[in-house]
Structure 1
Amino acid sequence: MSIKAILTDIEGTTSSISFVHDVLFPYAAEHLEAFVKEHYQDAEVKVQLEATAEFAGLDVENVDALCQQLLEWIREDKKITPLKALQGMIWKQGYAQGDFTGHVYQDAVENLRKWHESGLKLYVYSSGSVAAQKLIFGYSDFGDLTPLFSGYFDTKVGGKKEAASYAAIVSQIGIRSDEILFLSDVPAELDAAVASGLKVCHLVRDDKVEKQDRYPPAVDFDAVSALLCE
């Protein structure tokens, strides 16, 4: 492959799905109501609550109703931008307090470092907010990995199953689409990336991953490195 940049997903790709669902989501759910009520007047929080109220058709002054709506979205695993932003704020507090560290697979860390040293540009695209992305890599089990990345993208650029999102990312990165490799465990995301001209690789770290035969599979980042050398 003639690749100049790698765009990677997080959940199921650089990091375990269980960390997100068994650690981060429950932590946000447990602390959301107290966090919102304590920081309701903070400018950043207020912006996200106003967006929540508009999206859900609720009264922005009804904090209890807003909290219940946000908790319902967490239970339903909704990819809604204000929810992701608030979760990121809560997780920032948890990381800073040492309540947990960000899970990143060792093979991902080793290869991300190798790719960075070789001159490849590295980017992240996740449904989690950019702030949350920086936290998982900034407070990772292997220390601060954020210097490895040249940029981050979230749902503000568009949904991960929409081709237009990848076209927008290509435009911002400034590298030809066929020189960018996108890594994800979700075939529908790979389909969207291919529709915008990107090269793709399907991460299949466990048996729960949806199988497909359209794109090259990789059980880990060592396998991705092998594909890059072909």
Structure 2
Amino acid sequence: MVPPAAVLTDIEGTTTPIAFVHRVLFPYARARLAAFCAAHAEVGGVPVPPLETLYAQMDRDEKDPVLKTIQGMIWEEGYAAGELKAEIYADVAPALRRWARGGVRLYVYSSGSVPAQKLLFGHSAEGDLTPLFQAYFDTKAGPKREAASYGAITRGIGIPAGEVLFLSDVEAELDAARAAGLRTCQLVRPQDGTLASARHPTAVDFAGVAQQFGLPHV
């Protein structure tokens, strides 16, 4: 098997426990949302929605760009104050470092905003992992369950889709990536209770990904 030239990875349920996002990050932002809205009339030139609207969007786990920007700004303050420390699965950082040293190009694609992605990987217990990645993508590239989004990303990074391996825990995202021509692997983390797909290769950790796809590993 020819190893992939690049790895495009999801975050929640793939590099980071779902519990960290839902039990730490989301509650942290929610508790500070009212104060944020009182202090900011707009973000990025866009008016801040009413507080009730933002709460409702959070309850529905909507991927609204303004909400994601606000959450990212709140998290940035938390990381800077030392109140937040990103949780990364223990197998992720060593694998990413080996892959990068081996010449594999690394990218992130998550529904969280690009600034929030950089904050998470920049403030992990394993140190600053941001230098390992070539670029970051959020829903500005398109919805994660639509094939066109993955096509836009592969064209943007200049690597043929068939040479890019997409990692995610969500079957619908993997389906979209495969439809765009990418190689796929589902992370089935026992801690997250992910149900294994019958349509995609699966692995319980990044070491398993490396072994299946010929990526550098110990």
TM-score by length of 1: 0.89
Matched residues, percent identical?
53
The alignment covers a number of residue pairs equal to 213
Could you tell me how far apart the structure 1 residues matched to 2:34 and 2:46 are?
A: 14
**1:150-189 aligned within 5 A:** 150-189=134-173
Distance 1:182 1:114 in 2: 17
Displacement of 1:211 in angstroms is: 2.6
Return the structure number with greater helix share: 1
Structure 1 residue 37 displacement after superposition: 1.2
| Cα distance in 2, alignment partners of residues 217 and 144 from structure 1 | 28
1:212 pairs with 2:197: yes
CA contact (8 A) 1:157 1:165 kept: yes
**Structure 1 segment 1-230 matched on structure 2, within 5 A:** 1-40=2-41, 45=43, 47-49=45-47, 52=49, 66-206=50-190, 208-229=193-214
Amino acid in structure 1 at the alignment position of 2:195: E
Structure 1 Cα separation of the partners of residues 189 and 159 of structure 2: 28
Structure 2 unaligned segments of length 5 or more: list them: none
Contact 2:185-2:209 within 8 A present in 1 as well: yes
The superposition leaves residues 19-58 of structure 1 with CA deviations (integer Å, 9 ceiling, x where unpaired) of 00000000110001101211336xxx263435x4xxxxxx
| Aligned partners of 1:48 and 1:86 also within 8 Å | no
CA RMSD of aligned residues (A): 1.4
Query: Which letter does structure 1 place at the counterpart of 2:200?
Result: Y
Bigger-Rg structure (1/2):
1
Alpha-carbon distance in structure 2 between the residues aligned to 1:46 and 1:3 = 37
Instruction: Write the distance in 1 (CA, Å) between the matches of 2:97 and 2:213.
Output: 15
Aligned to 1:60: none
CA gap of 1:11–1:48, structure 2 versus 1, over 3 A, is: farther
Say whether the 8 Å CA contact 2:72–2:115 is kept in structure 1: yes
In the alignment, the residues of structure 2 paired with residue 212 and residue 118 of structure 1 have an alpha-carbon distance, to the nearest angstrom, of: 29
1:119 and 1:49 map into 2 onto residues whose CA distance is: 43
Find runs of 4+ consecutive structure 1 residues off by over 6 angstroms. Answer: none
State how far apart, in whole Å, the 2-side matches of 1:190 and 1:155 are: 16
CA contact under 8 A between 2:165 and 2:183: conserved in structure 1?
Answer: yes
Aligned to 1:123, the other structure's residue is in SS state: strand
SS class of match (1:106): coil
Contact conserved, 1:204 with 1:219, CA < 8 A, in 2?
yes
Q: Whole-Å Cα distance in 2 between the matches of residues 3 and 183 of structure 1? A: 12
- How many angstroms apart in 1 are the aligned matches of 2:122 and 2:46? 23
Query: Would you say the 8 A contact 1:160–1:189 is kept in 2?
Result: yes
Letter of the structure 1 residue corresponding to residue 151 of structure 2: A
**Distance in 1 of aligned mates of 2:168 and 2:44:** 33
- Structure 1 gaps, min length 5: 53-65
Q: Classify the secondary structure of the residue corresponding to 2:166.
A: strand
Deviates more, 1:202-211 or 1:174-183: 202-211
Distance 2:164 2:116 in 1: 23
